[in-house]
Structure 1
């Protein structure tokens, strides 16, 4: 497992990686999926042989409420249809932890349930928040799950300048699902999962 003796330095490195992704020029991205209120793009990942996905859409709520639903905690498990369990394994400070979570099978179980162990960090970014994470090489494994690996991922959430009760949510996801899965199935699953994520999040926020 990565050395987390200096969790603050590890968190800062993760944050800077996400800020780097956030600065990639628009013309470098290729549209992977587009629905009326969410667009998903992709580029080859710098971390592994798959893709880095970027998703973006406007959410009708304030930044703090949105990020509270995304970062590790009971809110996330309540509404995220893909997540089937979540446990906080270790706390470092209020906005920094290690979590283990599992996901449901996808594409008629062509992609079987996965388990992830992620370091998670939430920090202020400009006038909004960034909630980011990266998988750890956690030794304990459960045989009923394939262990997936999230390369640096994160969600930037900032208020719209002309409408402070609305926020622009931009996510960067690069997940190595591992196992024997065709790349075409991974592409279909990732783009669809990201657009569904926005829909599920909006429904959850409307109920609060």
Structure 2
């Protein structure tokens, strides 16, 4: 039996090291919402992508849109999340989930599914994060119709901005092996553009919550 909790905690440590280590990142996309950077991953033969953007909304509101729960807001606004299922609740803060993504890049990227252990962690400075990485789970073997992809340590961190209570810094880290035989150029162009869309859609979602 894999120690899911320990694996999830090591992801949180990994993301914190990415957050602190500013070396080697190369900017690949900038928009009004986000700066996306990348550097080679030490986890798999691909890249780790970092998004850094300011969202208009309190950390609580932003987290409401991001938190990894079934029937949460994420499925409604994130174009890359078609379905989100809870497979097993390990503890209060650790769960095993399956995420289904739609086809992308004009159909070049087929629908995929990912099985991850996810840790929700709060920090003393008021930051809150979701930390995920791939696992094998007996309750969810690969299924026909989906290419099984693998997330390496990835997640989102909502950071309160001192002096600006209505704004939140959102850091995201993606390093995903999409699986299948995709050309590298497709993968390298997909992530920066989808992350720019992610921040744009998150901003709109938080704004709609604020207007309620």
- Name the TM-score, length of structure 2 as normaliser: 0.91
Is residue 39–residue 48 contact of structure 2 (8 Å, CA) maintained in 1?
yes
Aligned to 1:10: 7
Q: Is the 8 A contact 1:52 1:172 kept in 2?
A: yes
Moved more, 78-87 or 111-120: 78-87
Matched, 1:47 2:38: no
Secondary structure of 2:73's match? Answer: helix
| Distance in structure 2 (CA, Å) of the matches to 1:12 and 1:133 | 9
* Alpha-carbon distance in 1 for matches of 2:60, 2:5: 22
8 A Cα contact 1:98 1:117, kept in partner: yes
Work out whether residues 96 and 119 of structure 1, in 8 Å CA contact, stay in contact via their aligned partners in 2. Answer: yes
Greater strand share, structure number? 1
Contact kept, 8 Å, 2:8 with 2:133, in 1: the verdict is no
Q: How far apart are the structure 1 equivalents of 2:104 and 2:5?
A: 35
Mapped to 2, the partners of 1:35 and 1:46 lie a distance apart of: 27
Give yes or no for contact 1:79–1:200 (8 Å, CA) kept in 2: yes
Q: C-alpha distance in 1, partners of 2:131/2:21?
A: 17
Contact 2:9 2:119 in 1 (8 A): no
Map of 1:105 onto structure 2:
103
Structure 1 portions without partners, runs of 5+: none
In the alignment, which residue of structure 2 is the partner of 1:174?
175
Is the Cα contact below 8 Å between 1:29 and 1:41 reproduced in 2? yes
Q: Contact 1:59/1:169 (CA < 8 Å) preserved in 2? A: yes
Q: Which runs of 5+ in 2 are unaligned?
A: none
1:188 corresponding residue in structure 2: 189
Give structure 1 regions of 4+ aligned residues with deviation exceeding 4 angstroms. none
SS in 1 for 2:12: helix
String of CA shifts for 1:67-99, please: whole Å, max 9, x gaps. 222121222112212211111000122221111
1:82 maps onto 2:80 in alignment: yes
Alignment partner, residue 142 of structure 1: 143
Match of 2:67 in 1: 71
- SS across alignment from 2:64: helix
What is the aligned partner in structure 2 of residue 156 from structure 1? 157
- How many residue pairs get aligned? The number is 204
Offset of residue 8 of structure 1: 3.4
CA distance in 2, matches of 1:67, 1:104: 23
Answer whether contact 2:40 2:47 (CA < 8 A) is retained: yes
Q: Does 1:91 align with 2:89?
A: yes
CA distance in 2, matches of 1:9, 1:137: 15
Q: 172-181 or 134-143: which moved more?
A: 134-143
User: What SS does the aligned partner of 2:44 have?
Assistant: coil
Normalised TM-score (structure 1): 0.93
